């Protein structure tokens, strides 16, 4: 069986854990602030994925959001995992969260598997082989931003970035039809890869937020980089600009 099929089976089981959640508020704790939450389900899903994924690729590094200690994921094989992306949505039962798995080799994403358990959408990509949802090919849109809608994230855990976030949002809003803030970065990236959004930015995302989505976007014909135009580092936080091919250049127009 192909590696990606095995990862798919594992993520579906993790999705069942998310869907089985009950009484989430009673097992929710603050991390760095009231905006930054973790639940017992984030930890349960991450532990499950760690055990199953390392059994599949025993010499891989496991770089998960809820890990206490992390190794550099840009050396050799590495899983970069967000057990629940959109935890604030999960706590509020908003039905907009996902599980995100990327497998990198020497700092380059080779596989991406993302599950939206609520809509039962499974996004997959293998480098050089295209991007898919539930087995059907996906592509970025061809819409210019002037006729499009962009997604954005608010970098909610870093108040120092809020003013810059709103200023970039205003500049993009002036050039577009509208924008969305949906609360799960990997699903925003999947929406760009699927052509439902025409661009996306956030002033700070971690590797577990952007690793899988980045491969889905490039395999769907889009582009992704930092807001400054640098390649994504995969080892630490950075700014993110993702778009279809038509809107790639707008990144330079919205700089401070």
| Shortest distance in whole angstroms from residue 82 CB to ligand IPD | 5
Minimum CB separation of residue 135 from ligand IPD in Å reads 25
How many residues interact with Ca ion (rule CB under 5 A)? 5
Least distance to ligand IPD from the beta carbon of 209, Å?
5
Other CB atoms closer than 10 Å to residue 31's CB: what's the count?
14
Closest C-alpha among 84, 79, 62 to residue 71: 62
Residues β-bridged to residue 105: 77, 108
Does the protein bind Ca ion through residue 188 (CB under 5 A)?
A: no
Binding residues for ligand IPD restricted to 7-36, rule: CB under 6 A: none
Among 14, 114, 184, 197, binds ligand IPD (CB under 6 A): 184
# residues near ligand IPD by CB under 6 A: 15
Q: Which of 49, 112, 145, 155 binds ligand IPD (CB under 6 A)?
A: 155
The reply to whether 151 sits near ligand IPD by the rule CB under 6 A is no
Where does this chain touch Ca ion (CB under 5 A) — which range of 74-82, 88-96, 112-120, 225-233?
Answer: 74-82
**Residue 187 · residue 116 · CB < 8 Å:** yes
Q: Does 86 bind ligand IPD (CB under 6 A)?
A: yes
Contacting positions for Ca ion (CB under 5 A): 65, 82, 84-85, 209
């Amino acid at each position: 069986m192909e590696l990606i099929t095995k990862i798919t089976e594992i993520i579906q089981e993790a999705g069942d854990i998310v869907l089985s959640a009950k009484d989430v508020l009673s097992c929710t704790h603050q991390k760095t602030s009231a905006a930054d939450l973790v639940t017992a389900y984030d930890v349960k899903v991450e532990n499950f994925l760690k055990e199953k994924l390392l059994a599949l690729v025993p010499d891989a590094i496991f770089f998960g959001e809820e890990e206490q200690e992390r190794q550099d994921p840009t050396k050799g094989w590495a899983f970069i995992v967000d057990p629940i992306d959109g935890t604030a949505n999960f706590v509020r039962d908003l039905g907009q969260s996902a599980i995100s798995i990327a497998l990198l080799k020497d700092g380059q994403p080779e596989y991406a598997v993302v599950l939206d358990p609520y809509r039962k959408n499974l996004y997959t990509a293998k480098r050089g082989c295209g991007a898919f949802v539930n087995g059907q090919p996906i592509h970025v849109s061809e819409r210019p931003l002037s006729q499009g809608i962009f997604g954005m994230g608010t970098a909610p855990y870093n108040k120092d970035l809020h003013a810059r976030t709103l200023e970039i949002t205003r500049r993009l809003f002036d050039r577009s039809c509208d924008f969305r803030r949906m609360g799960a970065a990997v699903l925003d990236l999947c929406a760009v890869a699927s052509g439902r959004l025409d661009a996306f930015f956030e002033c700070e995302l971690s590797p577990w937020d952007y690793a899988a989505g980045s491969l889905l976007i490039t395999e769907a014909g889009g582009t992704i980089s930092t807001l400054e135009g640098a390649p994504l580092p995969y080892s630490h936080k950075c700014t993110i600009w993702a778009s279809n091919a038509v809107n790639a250049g707008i990144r330079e127009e919205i700089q401070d």
